[in-house]
Structure 1
């Protein structure tokens, strides 16, 4: 990303999160000035200009003043919230988007908005079915419903000509500095702490899901920023439904624990889990319009996760 590509200065909302930190790094590597915005500072955003702001609780006018003062031409909303109730989930995931859209309406010049959505907005699909952008979303989880509501706000604003932007629905992410709210991130910590003599019991969902390296996801965001005249919605994933048990076995191998020390059992996907038993993304639109393709294989992603999971920077507020 260079000035020749049109993006000179980007504001990353949720910059300290597990995805936001990689988006900041990806833009910076491409020569774009980064303004990192989050509730609290973290060590990994110190190379950038950092502004403390709670995007879920500020007003659109307050955010507009910040964006105008910083003279950004692109905003990436990488905020993410998990909660137990529908109201709390809505406040965490929909509230920030309402504030961002309100802010953009107050700015004197057009600013491109890139909203990070989730593949879980589509809800369960039949096994063997790749999910493309034409699939009618029917999310089954609180998380999926709140993310869909947020994405629809952006897509409706784009359709009405009130916003210049796009939604990127990311599949499950892997890689360095994982979220501790994910199954594999939590498992990596448990493996770090496991005593080989006592062993470890692990319950794995009997599921096949699409995973993409978080660094590849960040590259897709940069590509969408550089190509403004594209579709308003992209699915981002490897396009492979991988057996979750295979990923667990690979992570155990990387950990160096004896295979017999980890006792794995499979269980059905149930309840309010945001995942499903089958997820496979059709990312052909992103390949065609953004010239984007994943570059990391999943073993590299798991190794990056393993090498950083003991770092105190892993758990960061967005």
Structure 2
């Protein structure tokens, strides 16, 4: 198998860590951002890599051929609360174009796609989600992720190449984006630490809501292991901690780390529908790839609070 890997979305929250993990694992790693700018000496993607809804599969296929045989990692993706048109562009149109380019290039060794826990249906409290669980998303975001992944799966089947789906749960850690409860908590506490505040007030409609929180560096570690062992025609792995953590407990952990107490305001503003409890079964990744979580919630909070406030948080 080729030791070249091309990471699309290499400047994003997850993509940055994935690129670093693959490089540390000995891969010749070519990182491409959403504007077609590439690292690793490959030259930029020629043609309109990103221009509105124009994702050129022809330009992408030429770029892939120039890079030679390679593993393709798709870490491009819009966050679930982004504008619907952006969600469609990044989660549906882009993987469709990438799938076309992989087929046209003839140089794709395997495909690895970063998916989402939102692809599963709502979960019942106390029942961890396994990779065998039904894909029945209830949100438009989840549906977009399922649809986008399907293009890459079908392309891999036609090429007779393996495809691996990494379904990430609630990703936390350093370099977080701007969306979601983790970004809100980290942003509030970093601002409070810098200002010397004696209390944080957070709008949390349902603090008892539980999510499976996983450090971005652990997600990257799973991607690196999966890239080395692509496995069967289609493989899927949950990237998660295997632990359900309530939103209230998350803020408590920030308070313990900083010594700044938090008052939770149960305002209905920002209330979201969906499952109130979520946790993943991570035994498949452990059994098949030897993967295990390395970073605790305390580790993630420490890394996020230590991060320079000027670090870009934009997705790639």
Pick the TM interval, shorter chain: 0.7 to 0.9
Q: Which residue of 2 aligns with 1:33?
A: 28
Q: Which residue of 2 aligns with 1:210?
A: 212
| TM-score with structure 2 setting the length | 0.87
Q: Is the 8 A contact 2:114 2:166 kept in 1?
A: yes
How far did 1:98 drift? 0.5
Q: Which residue of 1 aligns with 2:292?
A: 293
- CA separation in 2, counterparts of 1:184 and 1:287? 25
Task: Call closer, same or farther: CA 1:266–1:124 in 2, change over 3 Å.
Answer: farther
SS class of match (1:76):
strand
Q: Which residue of 2 aligns with 1:20?
A: 15
Equivalent in 248, 253, 257 of residue 254 of structure 1: 257
Mark the runs of 5 or more structure 1 residues left unpaired by the alignment.
1-5
RMSD: 2.7
- CA separation in 1, counterparts of 2:87 and 2:57? 20
Equivalent in 98, 101, 114 of residue 99 of structure 2: 101
SS class of match (1:217):
helix
Q: Is the 8 A contact 1:158 1:164 kept in 2?
A: yes
- CA separation in 1, counterparts of 2:101 and 2:73? 13
- CA separation in 2, counterparts of 1:47 and 1:63? 16
Deviation per CA, 1:279-312: give whole Å up to 9, x if none: 111111111111111111111112111111x432
Mark the runs of 5 or more structure 2 residues left unpaired by the alignment.
none
Mapping 1:1-318, distance limit 5 Å? 6-39=1-34, 51=44, 53-54=49-50, 57-82=54-79, 86-159=84-157, 162-194=160-192, 195=195, 199-204=199-204, 205=206, 206-230=208-232, 231-257=234-260, 259=261, 262-266=262-266, 276-308=275-307, 310-318=308-316
SS class of match (1:111):
strand
Deviation per CA, 1:75-124: give whole Å up to 9, x if none: 11000114655444222211111111101111233421100000111131
How far did 1:177 drift? 0.8
Task: Call closer, same or farther: CA 1:155–1:267 in 2, change over 3 Å.
Answer: farther
Deviation per CA, 1:226-247: give whole Å up to 9, x if none: 1122452111211111122111
| TM-score with structure 1 setting the length | 0.86
- CA separation in 2, counterparts of 1:225 and 1:157? 18
